[in-house]
Amino acid sequence: MTIAAPEPGTVPSVEAGTGRLQLDALTKQFTGRSGTVTAVDHVSLDVAPGEFITLLGPSGCGKTTTLRIVAGFEESSSGRIRLDGSYIDDMPPQRRPMAMVFQSYALFPHLTVAENIGYGLRLQRRGKDEIASAMRMAVTSMNLVGLEDRSPHELSGGQQQRVALARALVVQPKVLLFDEPLSNLDAKLRDAMRAEIRRIQRMFGITSIYVTHDQDEAMSMSDRIVVMNKGKVEQVATPGEIYARPSSVFVADFIGRANFIETVPQRMVGTSAVVTALGHELTVAAHPKISAGTDSAYLMVRPETVKVSAVTDGGSGIGTVLRTTFHGPTIDYEIETTGGTITVTEAGIDSRLALSEGTNVHLVLNPERAYLLTRD
């Protein structure tokens, strides 16, 4: 498969329909002096051609080990990997039609930008004209025009990351792997590079597996997110589904911020449950494992879905403001209630109008944006 210079208005891409990656019960165990540790525990995943999948989870959850198994840098203890229907477990890394973008960029300091980008093509013994054509395309698409003769140390962090991405893309892999590629960049540049990586990935249509512990990256870039914990897959879903309908308390707590109000479902109405929370009876969507009379459940309520107002009629309200924190576009309140401390986020409020600490308040929960979970 070769890359030709793009025609005006067109973009070269991988062959349509290629890049379907399937992980079948991948397991990886490490044995040391303290015993055997299972880093990856029967991970199964079906990635569609051109899909952008993010492996998300805390440190030590197994996401990087899973990525390294896919790349061929680690050998699985059990399980299989298929690419476009063919098993690739016994294929060495250099023969797998994949490319990886590393956290450290991994650019060769003694090579220029152009030489770094073309390195993979030279290893494949491509012709000079073909390499030159591919180079022009890569330099243009990654906004590196004019930097071809510079050394890596003469580039900014964002420019180095674009060179690393161009080097991966220029060999036109079926699968593109990212190992926390933005962790070394400052926050503003990280935001810009997220959009750039997503734009390039969509333009080329390459199946991509992205590893990060940053929830914002996962939410803003992914078609689907794979949330991992202790080597296992907790949930695979779109960002919206994971945020609104997490499969567990762990997922709800790890993705964004959440309040958990302990309650008991009184009765079921279809797939919803009737509960009492903070003095209000609510009918809310419920996890499939919830049933009437479940001993204990947690009502998950996101901070931005709670309405707060000061008590003005001399009543007792439902809580008291413990802390007010101004963040610029938003204000956070920590409110003490009989159901525990509740965090509320208000957007677009003038800081001069913020509720002061000690204010007695009413709280209104939005039942359409709450979700009832079983205890883990």
Tens digit of each residue's pLDDT (9 = 90 or more) over 114-140: 888 888 888 877 888 888 888 888 888
The predicted structure's pLDDT at residue 16: 60
The predicted structure's pLDDT at residue 82: 97
The predicted structure's pLDDT at residue 14: 56
Task: Identify which of 30-34, 183-187, 235-239 has the greatest average pLDDT.
Answer: 235-239
What mean pLDDT is predicted for residues 358-365?
Answer: 94
Pick from 212, 142, 148, 139: which is nearest to 180 by CA?
A: 212
Q: What are phi and psi of 6, to 5 degrees?
A: -70, 140
Give SS3 for 205.
coil
Which superfamily is assigned to 21-244 in CATH? P-loop containing nucleotide triphosphate hydrolases (3.40.50.300)
The predicted structure's pLDDT at residue 4: 37
Q: Which residue has the higher pLDDT, 283 or 152?
A: 283
Please tell me the distance from the alpha carbon of residue 237 to that of residue 70, in angstroms, as a whole number. 20
The CATH class of 258-374 is mainly beta
Question: Rg for the chain (alpha carbons), in Å?
Answer: 25
The predicted structure's pLDDT at residue 10: 35
pTM equals 0.87
Q: What contacts 75, CB < 8 A, 6 or more positions away? A: 69
So where are the chain's domains?
21-244, 258-374
Checking if the pLDDT of 37 tops 80, the result is: yes
Tens digit of each residue's pLDDT (9 = 90 or more) over 295-339: 789 999 999 999 999 998 777 789 999 999 999 999 999 999 988
